[in-house]
Amino acid sequence: MRLKGKKIVLLSENLYQELELWVPYYRLKEEGAEVTVVGTGSSRTYTSKHGYPVDVDKEAKEISMSDYDGIVIPGGYAPDMMRRYPEMVRLVREAHHQGKVVAAICHAGWMLASAGIVKGKRSRASLPLKMTLSTQERIT
């Protein structure tokens, strides 16, 4: 249990990609981490691209990253929804500024750009995401 005692935020919104939320969720728990699923506040349950539900433990406005050790942002279309909520973006920005782990999977790069934490850094993205981000960030 290498993550025993660690507290991780896992962001969620509608249209998340199932494997990009559930695999990190269960792997983190298997390693001993306490995982808190955090939503935008638009619902207490979000549905994946294929209809799988996830219940949130907290809304973004209810937490501070100073109480957590890292944050995971799954992909799918959820990050495009998440970035429309300033409290979700705040969590990503806080985690970065506090030197915490920020894990962004696939389209979660939208959240990194919205939080302003990728500028000046090198990253990878699929062509559609690259086209979206390249106006603000250095993407290869």
Q: Which residues are identified as catalytic?
A: 106-107
**Which sign, positive or negative, has the C-alpha torsion 79, 18, 53, 27?**
negative
User: Are 11 and 75 within 8 A, CB to CB?
Assistant: no
Nearby residues of 103 by Cβ (< 8 Å), 6 or more positions away: 24, 70, 71, 72, 73
Q: Is 34 helix (H, G, I), strand (E, B) or coil?
A: strand
